[in-house]
Amino acid sequence: MEFPITRLRRLRRDAVIRRMTAETTVTTGHLIMPLFVRPGTGEKRPIPSMPGAFQWSPDTIAEEAKELAGLGVPAVLLFGIPEHKDSTGSEADSDGAVVCRAIESIKRAAPDLWVITDVCLCEYTDHGHCGVIKPDRRGRPDVDNDATLERLASESLAHAQAGADMVAPSDMMDGRVGHIRTELDGAGFCDTPIMAYSAKYASAFYGPFRDAAESPPQFGDRRTYQMDPPNAREAIREMELDLAEGADILMVKPALAYLDVLHRASIEFDTPLAAYNVSGEYSMVKAAAAQGWIDEKQAAIEILTAIRRAGASLILTYWAKDFARWR
């Protein structure tokens, strides 16, 4: 034949050559499993909007953690759902905070599993916002950035003291990474890294999560602190700031609708990048699969591959356990 041909592409019918020439790999070792913990014992409550995900209690979560570790999943990300919510989210860092109890029980059951904690107030506040509220100049309720920083630093320290391997602030307040870093260093936790939700967009894809964490905002929305979907350069700015304040891993969230942002970040920064394959991205596939309209396993692997191809080092995904079993 006179023309160059793409012989390799045709040869990829053969799995060996397909594997040898793959530009992107996804392994269980790249994945972090988010888990929800609530007070009580013996709990394993299904989350209706997220089939296959559960709210655990500190005792049952240890069993799940052990199973995940046995499957080779390297890390979990914990979200806490408190007994009572109030205006300042006091159960986020109270004595016996549910996340702290879960950390201790996971560490007993699976000492090598990395325990990362989500640091935010929205699960703990009765108004469902990620920070403390005070009236703005016109008397309307607004999130108070600086008052929130104190709460987040205290929550981070509580998690570190309970044994968390890394903290992950997801609130998007300005200056929180630096504030948390100072607090942790001051208490001797210099080696506890921070994975910052840096480019976190105000997204409809968090819908199912707010069911899971029982945290929809009771008024307004999160647009005054989360990013606006049309903006990508602004995401780079947010990441630069977090890096300068001491973030060790930068995150883009959600993943699928923001693969361009992830790719840009991978060119711009030399730090590890995490991408959060969020609840809505998971539940869409689950819902379509339940109708028989899509093959869940194939779709999930394709999604995770795309996220890695775009530049993510790590992926937070509700498919982590399934993926480990599929391999």
CA distances from 320 to 2, 63, 69, 87, 144 (A): 47, 16, 11, 34, 35
Asked if residue 171 lies in contact with residue 180, where contact means CB atoms within 8 angstroms, the answer is no
CA 147 to chain centre: 24
**315 binds ligand PBG, rule: CB under 6 A:** no
107 is catalytic: no
CA distances from 117 to 32, 102, 141, 161, 243 (A): 11, 10, 28, 12, 19
Backbone angles phi, psi at 113, to 5 degrees: -70, 130
Q: Report, in Å, the least distance between residue 171 CB and ligand PBG.
A: 6
Span interacting with ligand PBG, options 61-69, 98-106, 206-214, 284-292, rule CB under 6 A = 206-214
Closest residue by Cα to residue 49 from 60, 31, 63, 36: 36
Q: What's the CA gap between 153 and 282, in Å, rounded?
A: 31
Span interacting with ligand PBG, options 37-45, 114-122, 147-155, 256-264, rule CB under 6 A = 114-122
Span interacting with ligand PBG, options 14-22, 116-124, 148-156, 301-309, rule CB under 6 A = 116-124
Letters for 242-281 (x = contact with ligand PBG by CB under 6 A, - = none) are ------------------------------------xx--
Nearer to ligand PBG, 109 or 147 (CB): 147
**130 binds ligand PBG, rule: CB under 6 A:** yes
Q: Which residues are CB-contacts of 58 (< 8 A; sequence separation ≥ 6)?
A: 37, 39, 41, 98, 101, 102, 104, 105
Q: Report, in Å, the least distance between residue 122 CB and ligand PBG.
A: 5
- Kindly tell me which residue out of 64, 91, 93, 118 binds ligand PBG, with binding defined by CB under 6 A: 118
**120 binds ligand PBG, rule: CB under 6 A:** yes
Catalytic residue among 85, 107, 253, 321: 253
**209 binds ligand PBG, rule: CB under 6 A:** yes
Contacts with ligand PBG in 278-297 (CB under 6 A)? 278-279
Read off the amino acid at residue 318: Y
SS3 234: helix
Q: What's the CA gap between 113 and 104, in Å, rounded?
A: 12
**99 binds ligand PBG, rule: CB under 6 A:** no
DSSP 196: E
253 is catalytic: yes
Write out the residues near ligand PBG by the rule CB under 6 A.
118, 120, 122, 130, 170-171, 206, 209-210, 278-279
Q: Which positions are annotated as active-site residues?
A: 200, 253
